[in-house]
Structure 1
Amino acid sequence: MYRVFAYRGFEIHARVAVAFEGKYNVFFQIRGGGNVRVMGNIGAPTQLHSGPFALAEAYLVAEGAGQAAVDAVIGPNA
């Protein structure tokens, strides 16, 4: 399953995979933005740990992690 979230000119792509019944592992990937080369390795899919998660929680955690990654790279006031 897959969702895309828009954040500060970037796209946060979240993909979940079934770990076991009702629980999911989640991956996120950052794409787009005006300066793609600045994204470097965070442009690669990244698995989030501390899971598996319930489905809604998996998407929420992926969105938050993606937002934090964008903020860390381009800064809070960019």
Structure 2
Amino acid sequence: MERVTAYRGFDIHVDIQRVEKDLFNVWFQVEGPMTLPGVAAFGKRVKVFGGPYTMRWAYLVAELAGRAAIDVIFGSDDD
């Protein structure tokens, strides 16, 4: 199952895979108007550690990980 959300001009693709009843492993991938060499979070699938998660948590932690990756590279809008 996959979900895509937009954040700061980038798309965060979240993909979950069932590993047990009601538990999932999760990956995220950031795609957007540019790719930066050496930045694994952009354009490559990255597994989120700490799982497996329930479906709701899987989507949440992966989206937050994708947002954090974008914020680390470009800085937070809250600064």
TM-score > 0.5 by shorter chain:
yes
Asked whether 1:37 is paired with 2:30, we answer no
Q: Which runs of 5+ in 2 are unaligned?
A: none
**Cα drift, residue 74 of structure 1:** 1.2
TM-score (norm 1): 0.89
- Percent identity, aligned pairs only? 38
Q: TM-score, normalised by structure 2?
A: 0.88
The number of residues matched between the two structures is 76
Aligned partners of 1:38 and 1:73 also within 8 Å: no
Runs of at least 4 residues off by over 4 Å: none
Of Structure 1 and Structure 2, which has the larger fraction of its residues in helix? Answer: 1
Q: Following the alignment from structure 1 to structure 2, what is the Cα–Cα distance between the partners of residues 12 and 57?
A: 16
Q: Mark the CA change 1:38 to 1:72 in structure 2 (over 3 Å): closer, same or farther.
A: farther
SS in 2 for 1:6: strand
Q: Which runs of 5+ in 1 are unaligned?
A: none
